[in-house]
Amino acid sequence: MTLRVRFAPSPTGKLHLGGARTALFNFLFARSQNGIFILRIEDTDKERSTKEFEEDIIESLDWLGLHWDEGPVRQSERIDLYQKIIEELLNKDLAYFCFCSKEELEIRRQEQLTRGEAPRYPGTCRNLTKKEALDKISRKVPYVIRLKVPEKIITFKDFLRGEIPADYRQIGDFVIAKKEDEPLYVLANTVDDHYQGITHVIRGEEFLSTTPKQLLIYKYLEWPEPIFVHLPLVLGQDRSKLSKRHGAKSISEYREEGYLPEAILNFIALLGWHPEKDREIISLEEMIKEFKLEKLHKSPAIYNTSKLNYFNKHYLKIKNNDDLISLLNFSDYGKWQNRNFLAKNSNSYSYEKVLKIIELGKERATLLKDVLPSVNFFFEDFDYPSQLLIWKEVSKNKIKENLILIKKEFAKIKDEDFTSEKIKEILDNLAPQSKGEFFWPLRVALSGKDASPPPFDLAEVFGKEKTIALIDKAINKL
């Protein structure tokens, strides 16, 4: 039997981090077992579901590289199937029409709470005759459809957690549809899992309370049950439910901020799973090779922005520079202040030097949007206070003399030999003991910053003429 799993988001919001983790674990399990990964859009909530959110989910999954084998299947296109199942349950007397108003239900709820009981439907309409129910329907009395729940305790098995008890007496007859053609999640989700041949339901821990209800539907319809795997929660560092106040965002927001898909995948994979040999850096291809359901953690995972930034910095450093140029020029990574620097300054530097600029910029960048601002001195006129040129306790006159000496030595180099290697060699010879006296003021002269790439790398990119002009500017400041 072919293993079949699904990711089934509701398009009532953008794809968030927890949802992406669920999608990833389903994807990894399918790929590791040569199974099928299905994308299902659960859009039966007509009021809250939007095309915009559906597009965000699809685009975010595609950007992450979590490509599905079947779908997207939309529940809104399968209403006839759900209606058929609802009618079957009604005909078998396993479900019934409930005409209780919200006001009536709230009164009963408050009475139960007052008595210290768990709120549950009291079964008011359960024993209505078919004639009584049809009479109310003909008079257009509003109704919902409830499933009959037995008065007993059961246990069901979760792959990670083992046997879990469930008391149907505490659940009561629950609603499965607003009308015959308006199924709720608990029914539509179960029907789809059956008809799509889902073998493993891998989803968040928050759905644990839904499982006994769905198991009852499987039993009533005499369907085989899938294996349930409920993933632990992702919590903030204060161990409360993860939210935006902890720094969590939608995947599209992370994308706009300049995170790379490789970093996000690596980060969320470790929120509940760990590869062999305690490694932290792992590619999607390596995850597929190593992934096993039994290696999923049972305890909650803790969200840590610093760890995500660590991963992004790593993947940014190893990213091919040609690819980064493409991303920086043409991507939809948000409206950054310095976006399209390269496009605007394409005549200032050769392509080889642009690659060098990218290499220098990404060394200190955490996010994609940080790459160019960290080397903006290559593209913009800059200024700085003369005091920034001073290295430790060295006098202003001595710094000035050192810059004049550097300028004289640079002037001797042929234009074609003005490389970082040659420049570093000269600086090392000038300052065999105290490199800071030469390296520091040259770095400031070429960048206007107290933190920048090495001065010999900056000089190579600027070229001999521009470098000497910037040294002259620094000398004049002193």
- Which sequence positions are flagged as catalytic? 244
- Give the separation between CA 388 and CA 393, rounded to whole angstroms: 12
By DSSP bridging, strand 4-7 and strand 227-231 are unpaired
DSSP 458-473: HHHHH-HHHHHHHHHH
Beta bridge partners of 163: 157
Helix, strand, coil percentages (3-state) for the chain, rounded to 5, are 50, 10, 35
In a 10 Å sphere around its CB, with 0-12 CB exposed, 13-18 middle and 19+ buried, how is residue 380 labelled?
A: exposed
- Give the separation between CA 402 and CA 260, rounded to whole angstroms: 43
SS (H, E, C) 136-202: HHHCCCCCEEEECCCCCEEEEEECCCEEEEEEHHHHCCCEEEEECCEECHHHHHHHHHHHCCCCEEE
From the centroid of its chain, how far is CA 278? 22
Under a CB-based contact definition with an 8 Å cutoff, are residues 212 and 156 in contact? Answer: yes
By DSSP bridging, strand 36-41 and strand 70-74 are parallel
Under a CB-based contact definition with an 8 Å cutoff, are residues 133 and 97 in contact? Answer: yes
373: which 2 tokens?
A: 């601002």
116: which 2 tokens?
A: 């210290």
